[in-house]
Amino acid sequence: PDMAKLSLQQNPTFRARVDIPVPGSKPVPVEFTFRNRTREQLAQWLEGLDGKDTHAAVMEIASGWDLEDSFDESNVALLLSNYIGAWGAVYEKYMGELVKAREKN
C-alpha cells in the first residue's frame, strides 16, 4: 500500500477563500494568504487576542489577499470597518483551516 506523504514541517503559509458578508447581497469571496501556526503558537496568539484591534489581529494571521488594493493595515482596517461581518468570516475561516473541525456552538 502507498504510504501517506505527510511532511512533519508544514508550509509557513496557506491560501483559503473567505466569503466576506455584504449587506443586502451575496458574500464576496476573497482569497487570503494565511500564516500557518503550530498548536502552541495558535494558543499563544489566541491568549493575546483579547482587547486587540481586529485589523491588527488580521495582520498577524494573514500576509496577503487577492484584492487589487494592497494588503496593509489601513486597507485591512477599511475592509473591517465597511464590512462588519468580515472579521468573523476571516477568523472563522482561519481557525477552521487550522483545526479542520467544525464545532457546534
For the chain, give the secondary structure using H, E and C.
CCCCCCCCCCCCEEEEEEEECCCCCCCEEEEEEEECCCHHHHHHHHHCCCCCCHHHHHHHHEEEECCCCCCCHHHHHHHHHHCCCHHHHHHHHHHHHHHCCCCCC
pTM for this prediction: 0.88
Q: What pLDDT score was predicted for residue 102?
A: 45
pLDDT at 56 over 80: yes
pLDDT band for position 5 (cuts 50, 70, 90): confident
Q: What is the mean pLDDT of the chain?
A: 92
Name the least confident of 2-11, 66-75, 89-98: 2-11
Over residues 31-49, mean pLDDT: 95
